Amino acid sequence: MRRSPCMIDAAMAPELLALAVQLEEALRQGQLKRAPKLQTAAQKFLRKLSKNGRLIGRRMELVKLLAEGTRSGKQLIGRLPTTRRTFYRDLNALEDAGLEIELTPDGFYRLA
């Protein structure tokens, strides 16, 4: 069976997620503003990546929701196509990829 060049290999998923998290953080902090072509390329890459495959797309959506502000686990699970168990797996995967996620004392998640 011939694979499409845009198919994500499961073995590549952690590396792609780590790259996507770093790009998302760089864009959020404005680190790419001095390189508009690179900024545009990073934004396009993240858009395509979020649409390519449920795993990466769901985790990128979680990163975007966390970047928007503080939310409860219940709110996040309600906004994502996931179960509670998968939500916590995704949180762990994001932390493994280098994203710092903080749980506030009142039970809300946010980017640290």
Asked, for residue 4, whether it belongs to a domain, the answer is no
Asked, for residue 21, whether it belongs to a domain, the answer is yes
Q: Which residue has the higher pLDDT, 15 or 109?
A: 109
- The arithmetic mean of pLDDT across residues 100-109, rounded, is 92
pLDDT tens figures, 29-78: 899 999 999 999 988 888 777 665 567 778 888 888 888 889 999 999 99
Looking at residue 43, which CATH number applies to its domain? 1.10.10.10
At which residue do the structure tokens 């990829």 appear?
Answer: 97
Cα distances (angstroms) measured from residue 56 to each of 17, 31, 38, 102: 7, 23, 21, 21
Report residue 21: phi and psi, to 5°: -65, -45
Domain range for 23 is 13-111
pLDDT tens figures, 2-27: 444 444 455 556 677 778 778 888 88
Asked, for residue 53, whether it belongs to a domain, the answer is yes
SS3 label, residue 2 = coil
Asked, for residue 30, whether it belongs to a domain, the answer is yes
State how far Cα 90 lies from the chain centre: 9
Note the pTM of the prediction, 2 decimals. 0.63
